[in-house]
Structure 1
Amino acid sequence: MKNIVIGTAGHIDHGKTTLVKMLTNINTDTMKEEKERGMTIDLGFAPLNIPSGDIISIIDVPGHEKFIKNMVAGAKGINFVLFLIACDDGIMPQTIEHKEILKLLGIKNGIIVLSKRDLVTSERVDEVRSQISQEFKEEFFKDFPIVEVSLKDSSTYENLYNLILKEVENFDFSSSNNIQNIFRLDIDKIYSPKGIGTIVSGTTIGNINKGDTLTLYPQKINIKIKGIQNHGKDLEYISSQQRCALNITGATAKEIERGNLLTNSKTITNSKIIDVVFNRLSEG
């Protein structure tokens, strides 16, 4: 199986982090403020083990409008989405915003997950399904399978897990615009553990080896890959479309920002020309 990165999307408090925990047994809300406020603020990451022995990476993104830029940072690296809509709320403002972001990023594969099924009647579920049909009738989302989940019925998450395996197995990589031969890493997280040095993480495009030299943009700083990890496992190299943490030398954490790019210095040249494409979003 080729590598796939799955991301969550959906309105605040529609169960994205709970869903990831039910699938992976990992709570991606690790910040103190996230636990106190009961909401995802920054990106969270978790591995999803599958029978083949491969690992699917899941990125949990925030739903609150104040953290949309963090959602975009996470969504940039995914090619399959678990799009959550709570049965009690139905379609909400961030549901629409996340849908539009996914359209802009060209993510055309995923599953619509109706969460909190245990809180509503069957009639309400039918209403929400009708909302989805109306809202997504002209979108590629209309072809996504829909599955209901309930915290009171663990079998619903087993059904979702099996559906994910089926969808991933049939995933059409020709529709993904993230598979390239030239290595690049759009940095979405930076940290500096004591005694370790600078760590940057993101979703890989192309392959990279331990010991390789890259350039950090826009700073134009040459850095060296000191170490590579994928979900805590040390690697000598890593291939395309995988979550990775790179231990680097040549730049400190204070010199790097989310959104910076790591790539081969020969792949980018200076230019005074910029191409801009405008996409008109749905009116809110």
Structure 2
Amino acid sequence: MNNIIIGTAGHIDHGKTTLVRHLTNVNTDTMKEEKERGMTIDLGFAPLITPDGQIFSIIDVPGHEKFIKNMVAGAKGIDFVLFLIACDDGIMPQTIEHKEILKLLGIQHGIIVLSKRDLVSSEKVEELKKEISSFFDDNFFKSFPIVEVSNKDEHSYRILYNKIIEETSKIAKTISEKNKFFRLDIDKVYSPKGVGTIVSGTSEGTISKGDFLTLYPHKIQVRIKAIQTHGKSVDTIVSHQRCAFNISGVTAKEIERGNVLTNHPALLNSRLIDVLFTPLN
């Protein structure tokens, strides 16, 4: 099975981070402010281990409207989405906004997860399903199965886990190594004391420890000193893996989210862009 990147989506407080914790035993809210406010602010990451021992990456995104830019940074590059809608709230503003973002990004595979099932009656759930059927009225999400989960029923998350494995197995064949060159769109940068510069993102292509890359738009050559994926040191990374690089040749202060690391020889810096606008309803 190929590597698959799974992302969450949905309105604030609809249970995205809780869901990831049930599936992976990892709390992706690591920032002090996130823990104090009880809400996801930046991107979080966790490994999902498959029955055959393969590791998929889950990207947990914020649901609050103020952090929609962070959500887009996380949604870019995902292959499969867990789209959460809380049974007690139903469809909310960021439910709509996240749906439109995923549609624009071309995400075509996923599961609609109805969270907080224990808070409502069976009649309410059926009403919500009808509302969802009307809301997801285009072909883009029509094939998404619906799974209900409850914090009071751990088995419901096991059912969801099995459904994730089933659904991702259908798309694994279509995900292949298409990139001759390597590219990493940087979504996190930090500098632990005594370690140096660390950048992370979702890989496109293959690269190894000791290889050289160019940082754009700075056009600075950097060397990969070490590679990790979900805390495990590796010598080589391939497409569709969450990875962190320890790099030399640049300081963390010189890098920001959105910078690019690549070995592609044809990239150019430019002040001109072509933009295609897709108006939303």
TM-score (norm. length: structure 1): 0.96
Query: How many angstroms does 1:265 deviate by?
Result: 4.7
Cα separation, 2, equivalents of 1:177 and 1:98: 26
Which sections of structure 1, spanning at least 5 residues, go unmatched? Answer: none
SS in 2 for 1:141: coil
Q: Deviations over 1:172-216 (max 9, x none)?
A: 554x69952321001000010111100000000000111111111
Equivalent residue number for residue 43 of structure 1: 43
Alignment match, 1:2: 2
Q: How much does 1:257 deviate?
A: 0.4
Amino acid at match of 2:186: I
Q: How far is 1:273 from its partner?
A: 5.3
Distance of 2:136 and 2:178 partners within structure 1: 27
Distance 1:254 1:24 in 2: 32
Aligned partners of 1:133 and 1:28: how far apart in 2?
30
Distance in 1 (alpha carbons) for counterparts of 2:12 and 2:273: 35
CA distance in 1, matches of 2:21, 2:39: 14
Map of 1:258 onto structure 2:
257
Question: Which residue in 2 is equivalent to 1:235?
Answer: 234
| Residue 205, structure 1, aligned to residue 204, structure 2 | yes
Aligned to 2:136: 136
Q: Is the 8 A contact 1:181 1:205 kept in 2?
A: no
2:64: which partner in 1?
Answer: 64
Q: Percentage identity across aligned positions?
A: 70
Conserved 8 A contact 1:77-1:202: no
- Confirm or deny: 8 A CA contact 1:44 1:60 kept in the other structure: yes
Aligned position for 2:169: 169
The alpha-carbon deviation at position 40 of structure 1 amounts to 0.2
The correspondence of residues 148-159 of structure 1 with structure 2, limited to 5 A, is 148-159=148-159
Matched, 1:85 2:85: yes
Unaligned runs of 5+ in 2: none
Query: Which of structure 1's runs of 4+ aligned residues deviate more than 6 A?
Result: none
Q: Is the 8 A contact 1:212 1:224 kept in 2?
A: yes
Task: Please report how far the alpha carbon of residue 50 of structure 1 lies from its aligned counterpart in structure 2 after TM superposition.
Answer: 1.1
2:171 aligned counterpart, secondary structure: coil
Report if aligned partners of 1:179, 1:241 keep a CA contact under 8 Å in 2.
Answer: no
Q: Give the distance between the partners of 1:199 and 1:225, measured in 2 at CA.
A: 10
CA–CA separation in structure 2 for the residues paired with 1:197 and 1:139: 47
C-alpha displacement of 1:153 = 0.8
Contact 2:114 2:146 in 1 (8 A): yes
Give TM-score scaled by structure 2 length.
0.97
**CA displacement 1:209-243 (0-9 Å, x = unmatched):** 11111111111111111100001111111100000
User: Partner of 2:29 in structure 1?
Assistant: 29
Is the 1:117–1:150 contact (alpha carbons within 8 Å) kept by the matching residues of 2?
yes
What amino acid maps onto 1:205 in structure 2? E
In structure 2, the residue matched to 1:216 is 215
Corresponding position of 1:55: 55
In 2: Cα distance, 1:177 partner to 1:276 partner: 28
Q: Which amino acid in 2 is paired with 1:97?
A: E
* 1:16 Cα offset (Å): 0.1
In the TM superposition, residue 274 of structure 1 has moved relative to its aligned partner by 2.9
Q: Is the 8 A contact 2:2 2:176 kept in 1?
A: no
1:105 corresponds in structure 2 to 105
Q: RMSD across aligned C-alpha pairs, in angstroms?
A: 1.5
1:272 Cα deviation (Å)? Answer: 6.6
Q: 1-side partners of 2:63 and 2:79: how far apart? A: 18
